[in-house]
Amino acid sequence: MTVFFKKTAEQRGVFTMTSDEIQKIAPPALPLSFLSEFMADGRTPARAMTDEAMLKFLPALAGTGAILELGAGSDYYKKFMSSDQPYVTSNVVPGFDMVLDMTKIDLPDGSVDALVSVFALEHLFDFDAAFKEQYRVLTPGGRLLLVVPFMYYYHAAPDDFFRFSSSALDKLLSPFKVLSRQSIGGRWLIFAEFLHEKKAMGSKLGYFARVALRCLALPFLAKGLKENDPRYALAFVYLCEKERAG
């Protein structure tokens, strides 16, 4: 897989989406049909809204170069891209395309065209090192897509350390040019998220109790389908670019 990431200046990838097109991307929103999925105990509101954000922003990384996902949980987001787009998953444990530590990425400087990280940085105690490594391995003109939690519940994998405000992210990403920043969700979506008890996520409640909670959450979810409020965001999405020298 490292063959994708040994770049020369002549080998740098070209993105299909321009910076101007990126800045016109609308905030993520959920369709009304998600209400029925929610009642059927499908994706959580946070997962569904994150998926909508990824469907909008991942195409900004598409091009002739490869995309490297850091801290991947599976190949879930790899499937969002066309089969002819090189997309490499990585994690610190085996079972992925590459084994990489986000705080010490074993790749050359300026060797990666596009990086993506979704709900991964909160699991790193030394997150500052991860931001520096992302900048180091990106080619000049390379892009970074980050989704990081803000008002989101504790979820150890294997541990969970931090939450990031937009003010903190602005400072941490100051070496980059920020092409787009979006918040995901708001207070009503958070309320619906808290009431979505899923057996697969460890809920001890019975079937009818879980259905009752989703019924209670439904009007709040309906109000929050298109809401993206940075004060109560479940997460933030940043699409950045490493500026070219000169």
Per-residue model confidence as pLDDT tens digits over 94-106: 999 999 999 999 9
pLDDT for residue 22: 96
pLDDT bucket at 33, cuts 50 / 70 / 90: very high
What are 36-51's pLDDT values in tens digits? 999 999 999 999 999 9
Q: Around Cβ 12, how many Cβ atoms within 10 Å?
A: 18
**Res. 75: pLDDT tops 70:** yes
CA distance 86 to 78: 9
> Sign (positive/negative) of CA torsion 131, 137, 142, 144?
negative
Per-residue pLDDT, averaged over 136-153, amounts to: 96
pLDDT bucket at 12, cuts 50 / 70 / 90: confident
Task: Give pTM, 2 decimals.
Answer: 0.94
Q: Report the half-sphere exposure of 148 (CA within 13 A, side-chain side).
A: 27
pLDDT for residue 113: 96
Measured in whole angstroms, the distance separating CA 52 from the mean position of its chain's CA atoms is 11
pLDDT for residue 5: 75
Hey, what domains does the chain have and what are their CATH numbers? 2-29+46-185+229-241 (3.40.50.150)
Per-residue pLDDT, averaged over 3-20, amounts to: 76
Give percent of the chain with pLDDT exceeding 90: 90
